[in-house]
Amino acid sequence: MSRTIPARRGRPAAAPLPQRKTSLSLRLKRISRAWQLYVLLAPAIIYVLVFKYWPMYGVQIAFKNYNPVDGFTDSPWVGLTHFIRFVNSYQFGQVVGNTLWIAVLGLLLAFPIPIILALLVNQLQSERFKKFTQTVLYSPAFISTVVVVGIMFVVLSPRSGLVNNAIQLGGGEPIFFMGSADWFRPIYVISDVWQNAGFSMIVYLAALAAIDPALHDAAKVDGASKLQRIRHIDLPGIMPVVTILFILAIGNLLNVGFEKALLMQTPLNLSSSEIIQTYVYHAGLQQAQFSYSAAIGLFNSLLNLALLLVFNTIARRANQATLW
C-alpha cells in the first residue's frame, strides 16, 4: 500500500456498539461486512469440520457393526457389545494397566524435572553459560522420535551397545534391554526425560523471566539466600504456568508418547509395552476390526476427558489458574 497510514494515538473509540438485542437486519449487516474475515477463516473451519468433527461423528461406529458399504450412518447398531467385549477380553487388564503405569511414571518424573532445570538455569550467573546450557539441553527435542528410538536400539544393543559394553567392562552380564518387558518402562521414561525435559524447560524459563526483578532485589536486601528466593519468589511466580501445564498434561495423560511406545515395541516386551493406543492400532488398522477398536479409542478419549475435567475442577477449588 503506497498511502501512509497516520498512526494517531488516543483516537476516540467509534460510536459504542449497541449491546445485545440487536435487530436481525443489523446483525446480518455486520456479518456481511465481515465476509472477508470469514473467507480467511474458511480453510481452517473446513479443516476442523473434515478432519476433526467428521471423525467425531464417525465415533458412532463404536456402537455399531461398521461395514464400508453402509458407512458411518447406516451400519447396524449393536449397542455396547464392543465395549463389553473389550472389558472382558484377557488383554483388558494388561493394556489399561500398562497405559496407566507409563502415564503415571511419566508424569511423576517427566513433569517436575523441567521445572527443576529451569530454576537452576535461571540462577546461573553467566549469561553465556546459561544460553549454552539451554541450547544443549533442548537440542534432543529436534531429533525425531524414530531416531531417538533408533539410538536406543543401537546404544542398548545386547551385542555391541555402549551400555552393555560398559556393563561388561564392569564385569556384569549384558542385558537385552529392548527385548525385556521389565526394562520397557524405565527406558521409556528416561528417554522421554532425555528428549523433552530441555524443551519443556523453556516455557518455565519464560515464566521466570516475567517475574518482577524488584522482588528479588528486595529479598536480597533482606538477606534471603538463593534457595529461599527460589522457594518464596520463583516457585510462586511460575505456579500459574505450572498448574496450566499440569492440567494439560493430565488431559493428555493417556495419549502421550503413543508413537514412541509403538516404535519401541518388540515381540519380547509386548507384555508391558502394549498400551491402549497401540492396541487400537493393532486391532483396528492391522486386523481391520474397525468398530471394536473405535470403541476402545472412545473409551480412552472419555477417560482422558474425565481426568481433565476432574483436575480442572480441583484446580479451580484450590483457586489456581484453570484452563477455562
Residues near 19 by beta carbon (within 8 Å), at least 6 away in sequence? none
Residue 24 contacts other proteins per CB under 8 A? no
Residue 72 contacts other proteins per CB under 8 A? yes
Span interacting with other proteins, options 79-87, 103-111, 160-168, 267-275, rule CB under 8 A: 160-168
Distance CA(193)–CA(201), nearest Å, equals 11
Q: How far is the CB of 237 from other proteins (least distance, A)?
A: 12
Angle at alpha carbon of residue 66, lines to 60 and 72, rounded to 5°: 50
Contact predicate 258/98, CB 8 Å: no
* Distances from the Cα of 32 to the Cα of 35, 44, 223, 271, angstroms: 5, 19, 63, 59
Site for other proteins in 204-233 (CB under 8 A): 205-210, 213-214, 216-217, 220-221, 223, 225-227
Residue 259 contacts other proteins per CB under 8 A? yes
Q: How far is the CB of 276 from other proteins (least distance, A)?
A: 10
Q: How far is the CB of 189 from other proteins (least distance, A)?
A: 14
Residue 120 contacts other proteins per CB under 8 A? yes
Q: For residue 107, what is its C-alpha cell? A: 508424569
Residue 31 contacts other proteins per CB under 8 A? yes
Residue 63 contacts other proteins per CB under 8 A? no
Residue 34 contacts other proteins per CB under 8 A? yes
Distance CA(145)–CA(128), nearest Å, equals 29
Which helix (H) or strand (E) element contains residue 57? helix 54-58
Q: Which of 162, 239, 310, 318 binds other proteins (CB under 8 A)?
A: 162
Angle at alpha carbon of residue 198, lines to 264 and 250, rounded to 5°: 65
Residue 188 contacts other proteins per CB under 8 A? no
